[in-house]
Copies of this chain bind each other. A is one copy, B any other.
Amino acid sequence: MSVNLEQLAQLLGPKGILLDDDVKARPNYAWGQGSCPARAIIRPSSTEALADAMAMCYDAHQTMVPWGGLTGLVNGMTCSEQDIAISLERMNGIDSFDTDAGIMVVNAGTPLQVVQDAAREQGWLFPVDLGARGTATIGGMISTNAGGNSVIRYGMMRNQVLGIEAVLPDGRIIDAMNEMLKNNTGYDLKQLLIGAEGTLGIVTKAVLKLQPAPLRTFTAMVVCDNFDGVKTLLKSASTQLASSLTAFEAMWGNYYDLNVAETGRHQAVLPPHQAFYILLESSHSQVTETNPLETFLEAQLESAVISDAVIANSEQQADQLWAIRDDVEAKMIFRSPAISYDISLPLRHMQAYTEQLEQALANFDPDVKCVTFGHLGDGNIHLGIGPLSDKKAVNDIVYNLLTQFKGSVSAEHGIGLDKKSYLNLCRTEAEIHVMKSIKTAIDPRGLMNPGKIFA
């Protein structure tokens, strides 16, 4: 049930394996917490070396935990003492970039920011963006189907990937480095590996489709006095700004008030104590004489869909607006000990859910407060709840209520270890059974990222 470490070391060379203190120096949980208890961390330098190492592990019934940049938030990378961690940190860099077609071939260990920068230099955009861009790797982002702020326009990681190379648990290499937008030849295996959180194999390379970089971006923050206004604004923005709408981020008043008025961490660009604050961004590939976002918002003000607005007239001002939205730490500090949630539900149920949740939390403990914000255009909200005495009780309140509204316990973060006991709240028994059949078909010995996703 465990691979011979000396044989692994011989196969991979001195740089290819970390042992003892070098292992313990690495974290075992999200946010860099804990100390990795794994038997070893292997760091192959090529797909072939990885495949050989995985074949050796497979033969020895050795469990394997794949590692990207370790920026995930659901402990999908946590190891036990029996595991071997597999880091792709030495398999990084861009293999090729077809600047005519906007197609980039990258190794899975490449950090997001390297891809973004290389694209930008040639007039292209890699549109998935995360706060952890300097550390999160393309392979990890594929394995977790990462989201972010621009999903409303460009989709999630899944939508950026034309092809992948991956190594299966038994060391077989799957070369599916398709470059075409259209390729209807049998099952689309990459779709299965995208979002599988490393439980079916390890993605080693990817063919990424880039987007034309917009020439100009406009940013604004507005106030809606009620949720009907938010919904009207979203529909109008979706249809009138259409594909130029690149962000529609909502902050409930409780989030804005915490980040701005209560903590003074940000300047009050709009008066506090309003119902909803919406950050809108529109991006354009053609030069326009007017600001299309301003024209749009003037009409919304006139028809009283919004009651106030501030339009950024410099990049610095746009950054200031985004900083209020992106300051996710305030809730962790000022509501400590707090939990951050990542859920999604149909927009038409959003108001009922958040209102019933606040009521349920008040009934549970009047001192507990909830702040709400997120990618409303995608039906994805984040909740910050604290201070908490009983984490499990609050998990149960948040997730059980969600089932009434056909919501999801994970919009973009995945399941990992943290949410596996709630998977059955948003996937049926039949679905989970089929997932497990697929898992067994591809990983019959259950060696890949054991204990993740499934309870």
Instruction: List residues of A whose CB falls within 8 A of some B CB.
Output: 98, 100-103, 123, 144-145, 147, 151-152, 155-156, 158-159, 168, 172-189, 191-192, 194-196, 200, 212-214, 231, 235, 238-244, 285-286, 292, 344-348, 375, 378-380, 406-415, 419, 423, 426-428, 430-435, 437-442, 453-454
- Are B175's CB and A239's CB within 8 A? no
- Are B292's CB and A184's CB within 8 A? no
- Are B285's CB and A240's CB within 8 A? yes
**Contact (A182, B411) CB under 8 Å given A192-B187, A192-B191, A438-B438:** yes
Q: List chain B residues, Cβ under 8 A from A348.
A: 98, 100-101
Q: List chain B residues, Cβ under 8 A from A174.
A: 428, 430-431, 434
How far is it, in angstroms, between the C-alpha of A191 and the C-alpha of B442 when the chains are bound? 17
- Are B430's CB and A173's CB within 8 A? yes
**Contact (A185, B427) CB under 8 Å given A179-B406, A243-B285:** yes
- Are A184's CB and B180's CB within 8 A? no
- Are B435's CB and A187's CB within 8 A? yes
Nearest B residue (CB) for A428? B175
How far is it, in angstroms, between the C-alpha of A152 and the C-alpha of B409 when the chains are bound? 33
Q: List chain B residues, Cβ under 8 A from A440.
A: 441
How far is it, in angstroms, between the C-alpha of A423 and the C-alpha of B187 when the chains are bound? 11
Contact of A100 among B182, B235, B426 (CB under 8 A): B235
Q: List chain B residues, Cβ under 8 A from A231.
A: 100
Q: List chain B residues, Cβ under 8 A from A187.
A: 192, 195-196, 200, 435, 438-439
**Contact (A378, B180) CB under 8 Å given A186-B415, A435-B189:** yes
Q: List chain B residues, Cβ under 8 A from A173.
A: 430
How far is it, in angstroms, between the C-alpha of A410 and the C-alpha of B177 when the chains are bound? 16
How far is it, in angstroms, between the C-alpha of A307 and the C-alpha of B409 when the chains are bound? 56
Number of copies: 2
How far is it, in angstroms, between the C-alpha of A426 and the C-alpha of B195 when the chains are bound? 24
How far is it, in angstroms, between the C-alpha of A415 and the C-alpha of B441 when the chains are bound? 23
Contact of A415 among B179, B185, B285 (CB under 8 A): B185
8 A-B pairs within 8 Å (CB atoms) are namely: A152-B181, A175-B428, A180-B411, A186-B431, A187-B192, A187-B438, A192-B192, A212-B240
- Are B185's CB and A408's CB within 8 A? yes
Extra 12 A-B pairs, beta carbons < 8 Å, given A101-B346, A176-B428, A184-B412: A147-B184, A174-B431, A180-B408, A181-B344, A181-B378, A182-B379, A183-B344, A183-B426, A185-B423, A186-B432, A186-B435, A243-B244
Could you tell me the distance in whole angstroms from the C-beta of A87 to the nearest C-beta in chain B? 22
Could you tell me the distance in whole angstroms from the C-beta of A111 to the nearest C-beta in chain B? 21
- Are A183's CB and B346's CB within 8 A? no
Q: List chain B residues, Cβ under 8 A from A412.
A: 182, 184
- Are B145's CB and A344's CB within 8 A? no
Nearest B residue (CB) for A179? B346
Residue of A168, A179, A292, A408 most packed against chain B (CB within 10 A): A179
Could you tell me the distance in whole angstroms from the C-beta of A226 to the nearest C-beta in chain B? 15
**Contact (A184, B188) CB under 8 Å given A235-B100, A440-B441, A442-B437:** no
Could you tell me the distance in whole angstroms from the C-beta of A155 to the nearest C-beta in chain B? 8
- Are B182's CB and A151's CB within 8 A? yes
Q: List chain B residues, Cβ under 8 A from A101.
A: 235, 346-348
Q: List chain B residues, Cβ under 8 A from A155.
A: 159, 181
**Contact (A345, B102) CB under 8 Å given A187-B195, A195-B188:** no
**Contact (A186, B453) CB under 8 Å given A101-B348, A428-B175:** yes
**Contact (A195, B189) CB under 8 Å given A98-B348, A100-B235, A174-B431:** no
Could you tell me the distance in whole angstroms from the C-beta of A48 to the nearest C-beta in chain B? 14
Nearest B residue (CB) for A173? B430
